[in-house]
Amino acid sequence: MRTPAAATQGSSSSGSSPSGTVRNLFFSSRPQVHPMNHSHGSPSKEVAGSSQPGQGQGQGVEIFLRRVGEYFQTLVETPNDLLSLAWLQDVLATALGCESEFKVLVPRPKPPLSKAEEKIAADFFERSVKALDLCNAIRDGIDQVRLWQKHVEIVLCALDGRQRSLGEPQFRRARKALGDLALAMAAAVDDKDSPAGAAGLLLLASRNRSFGRPSQRGGDAPSHFRSLSWSVSRSWSAGRQLQAMGSNLVAPKSTEVAASNGLATAAYTMNNVTLFALWALVAAIPCQDRGLQTHFSVPRNFVWAAPLLSIHDKVMEESRKRDRRSSSSVGLLKEIHQISICVRHLSDLADTAKFPLAEQQDQEVRKLVLEIMNLWAILKDGLDPLEKQVREVFHRIVRTRTEAFDSFSRPISHD
Amino acid sequence: MAKPKPVSETYRERRKAKSVSEMDGLHGKSASDKRMAKSLSELDGDERVIATAEQIVFSVDRLDTTHDMLSILSDFDSRFSLKIGRLQAHLEERFRSAQELVSRWAPPTANARYYLQAVDEIQSLVANAYIRDDMLERAQSVSRVAMDRLVQELQHSLRRHSLLPDTKWLYSRLSRPEDGGSAFNKEDSASEIVSLEDCQNVGLLLDLVRPEVVPDIRAIAKRLIAGQHDQECCRAYADVRKEFLDETLRQLGLEKLSIDEIHKTSCGPLEGKIKKWTQGIKIAVRVLFPGEKKLCNQIFQGMGLVEEVCFSETCELSMMQLLIFSEAMVISCRSSERLFRTLDMYETLSDLIVDVDSVFSDELISKEASNIVVRLGEAAEDTFWDFANSIERDDSKIPNTWDAIHPLSRYVMSYCGHLFDYSKTLLKLVQRKHPNNLNNPKAYHDPVARIIDSDSSDDESNTNSSLSEHLLKVLEILEWKLKENSKLCKDLPLAHLFLMNNIHFIVQKVKDSSELRAHLGDGWVKEHCGQVRQLATNYQRAAWYKVLGFLKDAGLYRNGGFSGGVSKGALKKRFKRFNAAFEDIYRTQKTWTVPDWQLREELRIFITEKLVPAYRFFVGRYRSQWDSERHAQKYIKYTPEDLENHIMKLFEGSSGSVDYRQCSKSFL
């Protein structure tokens, strides 16, 4: 498993070495924020400049909310395809950007916190712990995709278009790899999630597995593939974790906002941002027991609400579309989806192929292989940066918690 | 994102290049080649030789296939074609016998050696330059079947012959014994050094697969790599080995837990899990992973990257899983009860960093691990500095019995005691400079941190003294907290007794520990012994002042002077009151406790010395006031000896002395 930890620190807002300098984050100057590479509506300089520490917190919250709105507007307008790897990177960039903005708001820890603030902070951290597990689950999922990539690699190797002819021996190897791929994908699909999808994949798997293989030994593969899947216990569920993270997440009442000097609104917003980002990742990446039933019941008067909800709707629509085709419960990631379509197509071709291949079939196979190779390359190049971002989200949450413990462990007051 | 198309581009280029060479090759039979071949047969004698030679030279420039040469030569002279025909027949024969072996081979009766030989034969035919196209295709096909079979065979024999290491044996390799009771025992650290030495080699002693089968598996792997099935080989290998590794770790009690789950686990069970973790990660990093590495080496040595890939795919995920647990600990609440467990984890992991580096070539794992070590250290350090504050914040309920040792005293003293088990590590942590100390919010409002930061330097004696300062501060706050607590006690003598018991307990603990004594100094001990004496006096005054007052002469004489003679009525009343007061004290204080027997004894003697002589004197003086002894006994209920016997029964506690070891939160 590849987990860039310290390596990702360079891109963090503090830009510090991973060791020992946690605390001065509170005192770091405003981080340089760049929402995404395409330069749509880069938030104006006056706004960025005016929220230097030292000004009233209420005003800071206003600016924070506006900035979050800008980030989400940029995300809505991203040219990258919904649920593609590049899009996911946009989503994470948005979350990380908002987090940097949020950090500016967090007051220098000066005890005593008011009761209201304390409650908000406790709730915030309760939710953030749940986010950590989701980050790890997504890293698992990325690893899972890497494993699939290895099977795809064998297919590509077997049906390498540079070979003079694609004969039976090449197909035999490819079919076996396709079978293993299908098995690996099936193992990632939780039965609860979509029985049809899982069964279909397993069927595909067994079909390819049985090829030229003594039947008495065919049985042992599925069980061991299952045991490899995840680093959490079998009962853990990404869907439930998301729901737990979002449970009772309601917009603060005006009294709460006033009592906490606006912190309640900011915390509520940041919670939603994190939840949304993780929800999008869980939607795209294979995770144990995925489930997208998380509802975002956000009042429309938040600037960021409309763009967030519109993206949410689009993802849900895509999810429904895919489910109807019962094609994929392995994550809605566009590239995976496309690969699995190609793979399916290729499997069908391999099953019906008569050797030597007819010219047309040969061309078709070569075209498919080329297509798969393109997708494989996109995934290969995109997974590492994505994982780095997930890791970064993880570390940011941890850092914020660590800092908070410093401020919470102060004596509240003693008489 | 950069355009991710390099692979497909190079692929296309290579494909283009390939097709060019194919066109030029004799397989493609280009037009010019055909013309040349045709013209050759029309020539005679020397010309023919020269033309052939020219053709060969021309071919050598462009082509590299022996096949083409042979083709040219067989056109040149029929003797060549005869030879070539014979060669082909020979190859065909080799192919047939190998094919037969491969397709008809059925274990367990057949000998695997012959099968492997046949596979080698097929491979060498596939690589043979003289082989005809149709035979090449057949050979490839047979090779493919054989490869499939070998992948299965590899997986099968690995699964069948893998051994699950015995957990007892694994534990026995560990430095610390399994029961944690003696984990803080000084002797352990000495024995740890010894077993660390041989731990380095334990991984090499471990047989994860029956040694006699290893060469067979290597033989299979060799064929798979030769047949360019390295990916399949890695998958098959890592899948099976990972299963066994997972199972071994599971048997060591290392569960797959999410951070959320760890976060929600209550203190007690978590302690167990942490202990399992510290043992488990040692076994994994020092024994299991090196064992896996050895196995990979035995099987795949000399086969290029496969060795490394197989190892990392088997072990890396497990390593990450182990690190996630420590990550969860770093994140979770930093209560002082966790300090020593956090230090345990810190010590364990920082000890293992070197091994992690040597076992895993993947830099990311090493980085991740050292990153967590740093943060565990920070967590421990923060908790350490925060300890004094945590005592201050302690809001444990008013004790049920005021006479016992307060749980907080036990807790703090236990903390101070254990501190020295970790003093080396702590000093190392405390010594680290805080470049941002000025900006450190902690130093700003933490008196302890302020004191210590003010003179923090790299000098060890300084750090050592900062440890002393820390201890002094901690004990000072404890005393303050105890005094605050004692104010809640309604019964004044009992409040004094409570303080006396607790301060005595603290002093005793300090006296018992040479390190504590050294750090706090004899002056501190002396001062606190004095405090205990003072508290005993306070108690005695508060409890016995009234009773002693009844033994005074004043108020017994008529007309307020000795000359007036003793008032019998007053005397009677006095004795009655004395008896009642004494009995009252006896009744209540018999149930009070002074847990330390020596202190109890001393306190009784102290009371006896105050009370009994005064009583003896008083009785001696006024006994004569009664006409008869019988009369006197009615009022003088107790002889001085009786009093002494009663006093000797004080502070026994209602149910005998309490075994205080059973009732407190502890660090263990």
Query: Confidence class of residue B197 from pLDDT cuts 50, 70 and 90?
Result: very low
Hunting for tokens 């998958």 — which residue is that? B235
**Packed helices A220-228 and A195-209: angle between N→C axes, nearest 10 degrees:** 130
Give pLDDT tens digits for A399-413.
Answer: 887 776 655 544 333
**Cβ A227–B243 below 8 Å, yes or no?**
yes
Could you tell me which of B176, B209, B328, B347 has the C-alpha nearest to residue B257?
B328
Hunting for tokens 């340089």 — which residue is that? A32
Residue B451 has pLDDT above 60, yes or no: no
Q: HSE, CB side, 13 Å, CA atoms: give it for residue B638.
A: 23
Give pLDDT tens digits for B211-245.
Answer: 999 999 999 999 999 988 999 999 999 999 999 99
Say how far apart CA A338 and CA A376 lie, in whole Å: 10
Any chain A CB within 8 A of the CB of B330?
yes
**Packed helices A359-408 and B306-331: angle between N→C axes, nearest 10 degrees:** 30
Please give the interface size between A and B, counted as residue pairs whose CB atoms are below 8 Å apart: 195
Nearest CA in chain A to B318: A231
Nearest CA in chain A to B379: A402
pLDDT of residue B91: 84
> What average pLDDT score do residues A24-53 get?
37
From chain A, pick out residues whose CB is under 8 angstroms from the CB of B378.
Answer: 20, 22, 402
**Cβ A377–B240 below 8 Å, yes or no?**
no
Residue type at position B334: R
Q: Are B252 and B244 in contact (CB under 8 A)?
A: no
**Cβ A132–B260 below 8 Å, yes or no?**
yes
Give pLDDT tens digits for A59-104.
Answer: 788 899 999 999 999 999 999 999 999 999 999 999 999 999 998 8
Query: CA of B175 to nearest chain A CA: how many angstroms apart?
Result: 28
Query: Confidence class of residue A42 from pLDDT cuts 50, 70 and 90?
Result: very low
From chain B, pick out residues whose CB is under 8 angstroms from the CB of A287.
Answer: none
Hunting for tokens 């690995």 — which residue is that? B158
Residue B401 has pLDDT above 90, yes or no: no
Tally the residues of chain B: 668
Poorest-pLDDT segment among B32-36, B343-347, B435-439:
B435-439
**Cβ A162–B364 below 8 Å, yes or no?**
no
Say how far apart CA A106 and CA A349 lie, in whole Å: 59
Say how far apart CA A103 and CA A400 lie, in whole Å: 8
pLDDT of residue B24: 36
> What average pLDDT score do residues B31-38 get?
44
From chain A, pick out residues whose CB is under 8 angstroms from the CB of B24.
Answer: none
- Residue B10: both structure tokens together: 């190079």
From chain A, pick out residues whose CB is under 8 angstroms from the CB of B390.
Answer: 409
Q: Which of B364, B373, B393, B440 to mutate to test the interface with A (most CBs of A within 10 A)?
A: B364
pLDDT of residue A82: 93
Query: CA of B41 to nearest chain A CA: how many angstroms apart?
Result: 30
Q: What angle do CA A43, A48, A52 make, to 5 degrees?
A: 165
**Cβ B231–A150 below 8 Å, yes or no?**
yes
Any chain A CB within 8 A of the CB of B324?
yes
- Nearest-by-Cβ selection for B148 from A109, A213, A227: A213
Residue B497 has pLDDT above 70, yes or no: yes
**Cβ B141–A169 below 8 Å, yes or no?**
yes
> What average pLDDT score do residues B274-295 get?
92
From chain A, pick out residues whose CB is under 8 angstroms from the CB of B432.
Answer: 20
Say how far apart CA A13 and CA A63 lie, in whole Å: 19
Q: HSE, CB side, 13 Å, CA atoms: give it for residue A36.
A: 26
DSSP codes, B279-346 = HHHHHIIIIIHHHHHHHHHHHHTTSTTHHHHHHHHHHHHHHHHHHHHHHHHHHS---GGGHHHHHHHH
**Cβ A398–B330 below 8 Å, yes or no?**
yes
Poorest-pLDDT segment among A81-85, B127-131, B160-164, B218-222:
B127-131
Which B positions 609-628 lie with beta carbon below 8 A of chain A?
none
> What average pLDDT score do residues B433-446 get?
39
Give pLDDT tens digits for A171-180.
Answer: 888 988 998 8
- Residue B181: both structure tokens together: 């009771």
Give pLDDT tens digits for A352-383.
Answer: 888 788 888 889 999 999 999 999 999 999 99
* Alpha-carbon distance values, A50 to A64, A73, B56, B646 (Å): 11, 21, 82, 81
Bridge partners of B593, per DSSP, are B652
Q: Which of B3, B5, B8, B312 to mutate to test the interface with A (most CBs of A within 10 A)?
A: B8
Enter the ipTM: 0.72
End-to-end alpha-carbon separation of chain B, Å?
53
> What average pLDDT score do residues B107-112 get?
64
From chain A, pick out residues whose CB is under 8 angstroms from the CB of B240.
Answer: 224
Query: CA of B480 to nearest chain A CA: how many angstroms apart?
Result: 12
- Other C-beta atoms lying within 10 Å of the C-beta of residue B7: 16
**Cβ A5–B367 below 8 Å, yes or no?**
yes
**Cβ B368–A380 below 8 Å, yes or no?**
no
Residue B662 has pLDDT above 60, yes or no: no
DSSP at B439? G
* Alpha-carbon distance values, B295 to B208, B212, B214, B218 (Å): 7, 12, 8, 10
Mean pLDDT of chain B: 77
Q: Are A407 and B38 in contact (CB under 8 A)?
A: no
Q: Which of B239, B273, B385, B430 to mutate to test the interface with A (most CBs of A within 10 A)?
A: B239
DSSP at B637? -
pLDDT of residue B311: 95
Query: CA of B153 to nearest chain A CA: how many angstroms apart?
Result: 11
Query: CA of B317 to nearest chain A CA: how many angstroms apart?
Result: 5
Could you tell me which of A369, A383, A379 has the C-alpha nearest to residue A335?
A379
Report which of residues B531 and B103 the model is more confident about.
Answer: B531
Any chain A CB within 8 A of the CB of B515?
no
- Nearest-by-Cβ selection for B367 from A7, A133, A150: A7
Q: Are A100 and A33 in contact (CB under 8 A)?
A: yes
**Cβ B239–A228 below 8 Å, yes or no?**
yes
Any chain A CB within 8 A of the CB of B243?
yes
- The verdict on whether omega for the bond into residue B108 sits within 30 degrees of 0, i.e. cis, is yes
User: B141 Cβ partners below 8 Å, 6+ apart?
Assistant: A167, A168, A169, A172
- Residue A52: both structure tokens together: 């230097």
Say how far apart CA B139 and CA B387 lie, in whole Å: 75
Query: Confidence class of residue A389 from pLDDT cuts 50, 70 and 90?
Result: very high
Most confident residue range from B35-39, B400-404, B528-532? B528-532
- Nearest-by-Cβ selection for B137 from A151, A167, A401: A167
pLDDT of residue B515: 87
Residue B34 has pLDDT above 70, yes or no: no
> What average pLDDT score do residues B117-127 get?
86
- Nearest-by-Cβ selection for A231 from B321, B432, B440: B321
Nearest CA in chain B to A391: B368
**Cβ A225–B144 below 8 Å, yes or no?**
no
**Cβ A377–B7 below 8 Å, yes or no?**
yes
Residue B573 has pLDDT above 50, yes or no: yes
Burial class (CB in 10 A: 0-12, 13-18, 19+), B577: middle
Query: CA of A153 to nearest chain B CA: how many angstroms apart?
Result: 8
What proportion of chain A, given as a percentage, has pLDDT over 90?
A: 33
Local structure of B557: helix, strand or coil: strand
From chain A, pick out residues whose CB is under 8 angstroms from the CB of B143.
Answer: 169
Residue B657 has pLDDT above 60, yes or no: no
Say how far apart CA B470 and CA B479 lie, in whole Å: 14
Local structure of A410: helix, strand or coil: coil
Bridge partners of A240, per DSSP, are none
Any chain A CB within 8 A of the CB of B29?
no
Give pLDDT tens digits for B132-141.
Answer: 778 888 888 8
**Cβ B259–A136 below 8 Å, yes or no?**
yes
- Nearest-by-Cβ selection for B439 from A23, A164, A212: A23
**Cβ B393–A241 below 8 Å, yes or no?**
no
